[in-house]
Amino acid sequence: MDQHHLNRLFTAEEINSIVKKLADQISRDYVGKELILVCILKGAFVFLSDLVRHLKIPVKIDFVRLASYGSGTKTTGRIEITKDLELPIEGKDVLIIEDIIDSGHTLKFLKDRIILSNPRSVKICALLDKKARRELEMEADYLGFDVEDVFIVGYGIDMNENYRNLPEIYYVTPTHHSKK
């Protein structure tokens, strides 16, 4: 059986400090605006919940869930909404909250779709960015950390639905049964 090992990448303290920094920036930039955070389920739920508690401005919160169809872990660009927005966003300032930008297909799809509802603005806040994996032009307006092309788990982010509850961020490496 294949085993894998979790290697810590960011501690809870490092995460807390970057999340607070992002919240401070957002709080400054959206003063006097009608901010709606759109959290992409499931991976961004922990990030969102920490981020909102550091915000110093009024905010509304909504969730979307996206399904991407393709082989394995690769996002192919065929994406569907399986849980749509519930709040009206026309004329509002929308900030999409995402866990990781990888190929960029998920965010491109969601951003284009949100724009069809005529919000006043649409921006992106991502905790992690794997720039080496990008297939489309897509940048976060607010970014926590750049990461290498590794598989990440923890802090809401999963591998086959596991590890979302871990308070720190890890990357996964394979381990093989060693000869004793």
Catalytic positions are 102
Would you count residue 105 as binding ligand IMP (CB under 6 A)? Answer: yes
133-137 long-range Cβ contacts below 8 angstroms, 24+ apart? 133/102, 133/103, 134/101, 134/102, 134/103, 134/104, 135/103, 135/104, 135/105, 136/103, 136/104, 136/105, 136/108, 137/104
Residue 157 interface partner, choices Mg ion, ligand IMP, none, CB cut-off 5-8 Å depending on type: ligand IMP
- By the rule CB under 6 A, 129 interacts with ligand IMP: no
Binding flag, residue 75, ligand IMP (CB under 6 A): yes
Piece of the chain touching ligand IMP by CB under 6 A; list 14-22, 57-65, 111-119, 150-158: 150-158
* CA proximity to 100, closest of 52, 54, 56, 164: 164
CB-nearer residue toward Mg ion: 43 or 154: 43
The yes or no reply on residue 43 touching Mg ion (CB under 5 A) is yes
43 forms part of the interface with ligand IMP (CB under 6 A): yes
Query: Of these, 102, 119, 163, 169, which contacts ligand IMP (CB under 6 A)?
Result: 102
* Interatomic CA distance for residues 76 and 117, integer angstroms: 25
Task: Please count the CA atoms within 13 angstroms of the CA of 23 that sit on its side-chain side.
Answer: 19
Residues that bind ligand IMP (CB under 6 A): 43, 75, 98-106, 151-152, 157
